[in-house]
């Protein structure tokens, strides 16, 4: 896979208003909270996914247990799960209609097998990068 350019990252982030955050968290000191909070404050619609927080609301939206519960198109899936858990979400991501344009694995998260499957389905995969840091640079 070719490396994504800064210009491509900027274009992706400026044209992806709806972001599903897989592994969203409620604790402010966790990246899975403050990164989506930053994106929400920048005007993105954040759809949180974490079975531990079903029945609560984050960023003005109800938290869903799984990606399968999202009933609307999502531009980008921002993943805050351990690398070894990513493969378990590939089926749900591929079942999303339409597919998200991008699956973004946050800093420290990497799964080449999952990335290959998603890329083969036409989904851009970004691994081991922070959406907050890349958005600020853009």
**Signed CA dihedral, 54, 32, 97, 59: sign only:** positive
Distance CA 85, CA 45 (A): 24
Which letter, b or e, does each residue of 67-77 get, where b requires 16 or more Cβ atoms within 10 Å of its Cβ? Answer: beebeeebbbb
pLDDT digits (tens, 9 = 90+) for 109-119: 999 999 999 99
Per-state percent for the chain, helix, strand, coil, to nearest 5: 40, 20, 40
pLDDT digits (tens, 9 = 90+) for 60-93: 999 999 999 999 999 999 999 999 999 999 999 9
Say whether pTM exceeds 0.85. yes
Write out 25-36 in H/E/C secondary structure: CCCCCCHHHHHH
The first and second tokens of residue 4, run together, are 């994504």
The first and second tokens of residue 11, run together, are 């274009």
Which CATH architecture does the domain made up of 6-137 adopt?
3-Layer(aba) Sandwich (3.40)
């Amino acid at each position: 896979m070719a490396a994504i350019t800064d210009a491509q990252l900027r274009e992706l982030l400026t044209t992806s208003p709806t972001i599903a955050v897989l592994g969203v968290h409620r604790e402010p000191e966790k990246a899975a909270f403050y990164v989506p909070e930053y994106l929400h404050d920048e005007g993105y619609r954040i759809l949180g996914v974490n079975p531990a927080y079903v029945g609560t609301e984050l960023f003005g939206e109800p938290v869903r247990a799984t990606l399968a519960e999202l009933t609307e198109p999502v531009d980008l899936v921002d993943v805050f799960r351990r690398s070894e858990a990513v493969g378990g979400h590939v089926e749900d991501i591929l079942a999303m209609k339409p597919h998200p344009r991008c699956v973004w694995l946050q800093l420290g998260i990497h799964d080449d097998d999952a990335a290959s499957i998603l890329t083969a389905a036409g989904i851009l995969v970004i691994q081991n990068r922070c959406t907050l840091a890349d958005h600020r640079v853009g």
